[in-house]
Amino acid sequence: SKNKIVAAICASPIVLNEAGVLEGEFACYPSCEVGLNGNRVNKAVVVNKNVITSAGPATAILFGLELAKKLCGDEIYQKLYEGMLLPLTK
């Protein structure tokens, strides 16, 4: 189904591209975007409709939080964000 959530981190958007899922803006590890459809942007996480992509290992927590937001809603996201003490990292 086209409404299912699809997520990829680091070099994994290459697989999404091969499956015909990658289009528009996405995040991936720098240099992995060569030959991919869409436009790599320099962001930790990109949510593009039902496709969530993330740049790499250091962005994994933010990636997981965006998945939680998409699956469980803003309230759960906010509780996780605050519970993990992420506001202290700014």
CATH number at residue 68: 3.40.50.880
For residue 30, which amino acid is it?
A: P
Place 90 in a pLDDT band, splitting at 50, 70 and 90. Answer: confident
pLDDT computed for residue 1 by the predictor: 52
The whole-number pLDDT of residue 29 equals 98
* Structural tokens at position 13: 């958007």
The CA radius of gyration of the chain, in Å to the nearest whole number, is 13
* CB 76, CB 60: distance < 8 Å: no
Q: Look at residue 76 and tell me if it is in a domain.
A: yes
In a domain, 61, yes or no: yes
Residue 45 lies in a domain: yes
Helical (H) or strand (E) element with 26? strand 25-26
Half-sphere exposure of 38 (CA within 13 A, CB side): 23
Within a domain: 1: no
Q: Predicted confidence band at 80 (pLDDT cuts at 50, 70, 90)?
A: very high
Does any domain span residue 16? Answer: yes
Q: Averaged over 78-89, what is the pLDDT?
A: 94
Number of separate domains in the chain: 1
Can you give the pTM of this predicted structure? 0.92
Other residues' Cβ atoms within 10 Å of the Cβ of residue 68: 17
At residue 75, the pLDDT reads 98
78, part of any domain: yes
Give residue-wise pLDDT tens across range 1-55: 568 999 999 999 999 999 999 999 999 999 999 999 999 999 999 999 999 999 9
Structure tokens at 27: 């995040």
What is the domain extent for residue 54?
6-89
